[in-house]
Structure 1
Amino acid sequence: MSGQAPVISVVDAGIRFRRNRGGRRNFKDLFSGSTRRSRPGEFWAFRNVSFDVSPGEAIGVVGRNGQGKSTLLKLVAGVVLPDEGQVTVAGGVAPLIEITGGFVNDLTVRDNVFLTAGLHGMTRREIEARFDDIIEFAEISDFIDTPYKHLSSGMKVRIAFSVISMLEEPIILVDEVLAVGDRGFREKCYKRIEELLAGGRTLFFVSHNEKDLRRFCTRGLYLDKGKLVLDGPINEVLDRYNAEYHS
């Protein structure tokens, strides 16, 4: 992969939150003062984080709860913007983040498939061509015209994963979503991800499941106390994380 331009480039990135408001800076804050100086009640989820991801790499992000893993994933997805530094993503992303978000309860499964896939850039003709595959993978053919709100939580996850995994985007972002659902469907999702990786997709994967991280990823990023403390082979990263976490 050497010599290839990175598909993800993060340079000295930092994300800041407010404790007292439970959110990001407000509109007024964007135009007042330096972004580098913390104000009372603010904290940095992470700071001075830099790394590149080459096409076809499978990256696992590890760290204890509250260390900024999911925030980093949302930064790459474009859901949040950096308070410091720069993030460049070449190509589109298929975001398996908060997986059922964006689905409309009162719409049918059919309408939600067209809506969600369309919002992610698929044309109506493309959705029609893949519709049967999406439904078959999700195993909900008897519920196509059922309002989404009447599906079980497991069925909602299945249809959401099926839609997102059918996107043709070169980068797959995954945040713990594989921890839900029944065992059989979870293994089906694993095999689908392996197929996407075999096809040259890039994976950016946040998980606490060490077995999954070792299965899919070749490289790891270890976040701790707002810093990227190690970027290296996934086994080396997990070994250090385990040694420090359990020490």
Structure 2
Amino acid sequence: MNTAIEVQDLGVRFRRNRRGRRSFKDLFAGSERRSRPGEFWALRGVSFSVQQGESIGVVGRNGQGKSTLLRLVAGVLLADEGTVTVNGGVAPLIEITGGFVGDLSVRENVRLTAGLHGMSRAEISRRYDDIISFAELADFEDTPYKHLSNGMKVRLAFSVVSQLDEPILLVDEVLAVGDKAFREKCYKRIDELLSEGRTLFFVSHNERDLRRFCTRGLYLDKGSLVLDASIAEVLDRYNGDAS
């Protein structure tokens, strides 16, 4: 089995405020690794690997580095320490309504967003009807995106991204939104993608979803990896610490 994601001694730091901002020289010097006043490490010393076809659930309290880790894997953030190696493209189901243009129609946004995710014009044309059908927006194709409800926007975004052929799925609480019927459609779609051998990296507070989709878990606390084990063991430990 080949490695899909390799993380070694990963660390990333942020500012609590604008004071203590690193200079342009600091960003490129590479030698300064101490935290300056007003900075903190969101993640540090995190190492793990994910094999192709694995389903990984990431758990932890709010503010412990889960979403930061997902964004590092997605390439949205850059590490201050260590490395993240991703072998294959990613389908990022994170902040999925980002990138859509309010004044463009649903039809135009589908073509724009799918293209930005790497779909060719031929692929977009071939999958367009499926995207609109899944999102249940056949009556709104020429409606400006800004006039859609929040639920419609989420349906459209999920529908576009879930049509990508990338081997790695990055999911961050996207299943927590939408009505019950749409969530069930999302569940079935993710089941289909996993049955194709996709790799899942899933951040969630929903224990039911984690147990449904994941076989292995990573437990983050205060920016460190506390436990890497089966999802059942990780949830037991997390729930025990929270009680």
Specify if TM > 0.5: yes
2:52 is aligned to 55
Q: C-alpha deviations, 1:207-231, integer Å up to 9, x for none?
A: 0000000000000000001110000
Change (3 A) 1:51 1:33: closer
Mapped pair 1:41 → 2:33: no
The equivalent position to 1:90 in structure 2, one of 87, 90, 104, is: 87
1:225 is aligned to 222
Aligned residues: 243
Q: C-alpha deviations, 1:102-143, integer Å up to 9, x for none?
A: 000000001100111000100011000000000000011000
1:178 is aligned to 175
2:196 is aligned to 199
Query: 3-state DSSP class of the match of 2:3?
Result: coil
Mapped pair 1:31 → 2:14: no
Q: C-alpha deviations, 1:56-103, integer Å up to 9, x for none?
A: 000000000000000000000000011000110011000001110000
1:209 is aligned to 206
1:13 is aligned to 10
TM-score by length of 1: 0.95
Counterparts of 1:39 and 1:48 in 2: how far apart (Å)? 18
Change (3 A) 1:210 1:123: same
Counterparts of 2:48 and 2:81 in 1: how far apart (Å)? 15
| 1:138–1:159 Cα contact (<8 Å) kept | yes
TM-score by length of 2: 0.97
1:74 is aligned to 71
Mapping of residues 233-244 of structure 1, within 5 Å: 233-244=230-241
Indicate the percent of aligned positions where both proteins have the same amino acid: 77
| 2:7–2:49 Cα contact (<8 Å) kept | yes
| 2:20–2:39 Cα contact (<8 Å) kept | no
Q: C-alpha deviations, 1:153-210, integer Å up to 9, x for none?
A: 0000000000000000000000001100000000000010000000000000000000
Counterparts of 2:21 and 2:181 in 1: how far apart (Å)? 39
Query: 3-state DSSP class of the match of 1:146?
Result: coil
Query: 3-state DSSP class of the match of 2:69?
Result: helix
What stretches of structure 1 of length at least 5 have no aligned partner? none
